[in-house]
């Protein structure tokens, strides 16, 4: 395969809460390759954002704390890098965009100013004029019309979609190796969502960065990603390339997620009365069951899932890079 830029090994992140310590991420393993997109899917609270913030070194501490594992970026463990050095990577080599385009930009600085700031920080060799030119270049690259005018506007003068484009411009201004996109389109309406996704794919071809694309929308995953990791309660329960995941998913949770995607093409003969959903609720991280975390909601759970032989491990299934964490994989 192509070159690996980032590898997360057995990442474990804990949060101190009033009810004791919560393990938000528990042994996550992912890999990011140049020019490829890794999707991370999972329900709310499954630890997607926490995984992303750990890679950025931005877990709020307290209450958070990376309790174990390694994050290897170009041969170096990011977790061991001193803060000062980490700042030269953040926003420069590893960049991130967030779910909330409406509030992620600073309301009292112009859009151009906020893009320029990241250039001034990481590309000290640029003159002021170079930076100004680069700001305009970035704004037109992300498809903002009349960039000279827009650069002098404040965030509130832009729509949500435009603001997310500005965020993308900020994150890509230094041509990063890795772009972490944490639900970048969740807050946007569907047509804008499609445009932003299209834009990200186009820019990936140009810049060649690896993308970690976080979402809870499997439809978006099918469109964007090369590989997918499915998370549940802070763990990866299934990981595969996108084709395998959609055609031959083995974990009942993944299967459930895929079946709950609304679709228009498969309904020629049969009309679906109701979209199938996964029954039940995500267990609280404070009292996870012993054994498989998904057992209470799983139609295929047997005694072994209750943990008499320990917790399920993430193991290779079949010959390829397909990994699952399940005692009773679907066939």
Ligand X SMILES: Nc1ncnc2c1ncn2[C@@H]1O[C@H](COP(=O)(O)OP(=O)(O)OP(=O)(O)O)[C@@H](O)[C@H]1O
Residue 54 CB partners (closer than 8 Å, separation 6+): 8, 11, 13, 25, 66, 71
**CB of 16 or CB of 156, closer to ligand X:** 16
Q: Is the CB of 187 or the CB of 278 nearer to another protein?
A: 187
Spacing of C-alpha 118 from chain mean position: 22
Which residue, 154 or 300, is less far from another protein as judged by CB? Answer: 154
- Take residue 261 and report the two structure tokens written for it: 């995607």
The contact pattern for another protein, residues 246-265, with x = CB under 8 A and - = no contact, is --------------------
In whole angstroms, give the CA distance from residue 76 to residue 93: 13
Choice from 19, 88, 260, 302 touching another protein (CB under 8 A): 88
The correct pick among 109, 202, 208, 275 for binding another protein (CB under 8 A) is 109
Q: Which of 118, 209, 220, 278 binds another protein (CB under 8 A)?
A: 118
Residues 259-298 that bind ligand X (CB under 6 A): 285
Least Å from the CB of residue 39 to Mg ion:
14
Residue 13 host element (H or E)? strand 4-17
Does residue 215 belong to the site contacting Mg ion (CB under 5 A)? no
Cβ-contact 67, 54 below 8 angstroms: no
> Which residue lies nearer to Mg ion by CB, 49 or 244?
49
Q: Which stretch binds Mg ion (CB under 5 A): 33-41, 48-56, 136-144, 240-248?
A: 48-56
In whole angstroms, the minimum distance from the beta carbon of 307 to Mg ion comes to 28
CB-based contact 23:14 (threshold 8 Å): yes
Nearest to 282 by CA among 45, 28, 47: 45
Per CB under 5 A, the segment of 29-37, 44-52, 58-66, 251-259 that binds Mg ion is 44-52
Q: What is the torsional sign of CA 303, 309, 310, 316?
A: negative
Question: x/- string (CB under 6 A) for ligand X, residues 58-87?
Answer: --x--xx-----------------------
**Is the CA virtual torsion 185, 98, 95, 221 positive or negative?**
negative
Give me the DSSP letters along 66-119: EEEEEEEETTEEGGGS-HHHHHHHBTTTEEEE-S-TTTSS-TTS-HHHHHHHHH
- Interaction of residue 49 with Mg ion, rule CB under 5 A: yes
Q: Which of 8, 14, 15, 139 binds ligand X (CB under 6 A)?
A: 15
253 vs 6: CA distance, rounded Å: 27
Per the CB < 8 A criterion, the answer to whether 165 and 197 are in contact is: no
**The one among 26, 37, 49, 54 contacting ligand X by CB under 6 A:** 49
Q: Are 238 and 254 contacting, i.e. CB atoms less than 8 angstroms apart?
A: yes
106 interface partner picked from Mg ion, ligand X, another protein, none, CB below 5 to 8 A per type: another protein
| Residues making contact with another protein (CB under 8 A) | 56, 58, 62, 87-92, 95-96, 98, 100, 103-109, 117-118, 121-122, 154, 156, 167, 170-171
| Residues making contact with ligand X (CB under 6 A) | 15, 17, 22, 24, 42, 44-50, 60, 63-64, 216, 285
| Residues making contact with Mg ion (CB under 5 A) | 49
């Amino acid at each position: 395969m192509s070159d690996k830029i980032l590898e997360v090994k057995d990442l474990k992140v804990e949060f101190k809460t009033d009810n004791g310590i919560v393990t938000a991420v528990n042994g996550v393993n992912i890999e990011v390759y140049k020019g490829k997109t890794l999707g991370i899917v999972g329900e709310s609270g499954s630890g997607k954002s926490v995984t992303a913030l750990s890679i950025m070194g931005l877990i709020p501490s307290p209450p958070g704390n990376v309790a174990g594992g390694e994050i290897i970026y170009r041969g170096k463990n990011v977790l061991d890098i001193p803060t000062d050095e980490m700042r030269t990577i953040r926003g420069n080599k590893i960049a991130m965009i967030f779910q909330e385009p409406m509030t992620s930009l600073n309301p009292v600085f112009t859009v151009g100013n906020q893009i320029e700031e990241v250039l001034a920080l990481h590309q000290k060799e640029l003159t002021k004029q170079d930076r100004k030119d680069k700001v305009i270049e970035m704004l037109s690259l992300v498809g903002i019309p009349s960039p000279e005018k827009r650069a002098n506007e404040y965030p509130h003068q832009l729509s949500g979609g435009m603001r997310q484009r500005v965020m993308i411009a900020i994150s890509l201004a230094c041509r990063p190796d890795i772009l972490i996109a944490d639900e970048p389109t969740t807050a946007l309406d569907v047509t804008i969502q499609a445009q932003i996704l299209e834009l990200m794919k186009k820019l990936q071809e140009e810049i060649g960065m690896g993308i970690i694309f976080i979402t809870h929308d499997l439809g978006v995953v099918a469109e964007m990603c090369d590989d997918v990791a499915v998370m549940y309660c802070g763990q990866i329960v299934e990981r595969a390339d996108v084709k395998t995941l959609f055609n031959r998913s083995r974990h009942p949770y993944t299967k459930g997620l895929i079946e709950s995607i609304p679709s228009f093409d498969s309904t020629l003969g049969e009309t679906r009365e109701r979209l199938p959903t996964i029954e039940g609720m995500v267990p609280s991280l404070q009292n996870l069951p012993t054994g498989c975390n998904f057992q209470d909601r799983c139609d295929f759970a047997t005694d072994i899932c209750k943990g008499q032989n320990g917790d399920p491990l993430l193991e290779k299934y079949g010959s390829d890079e397909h990994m699952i964490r399940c005692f009773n994989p679907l066939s």
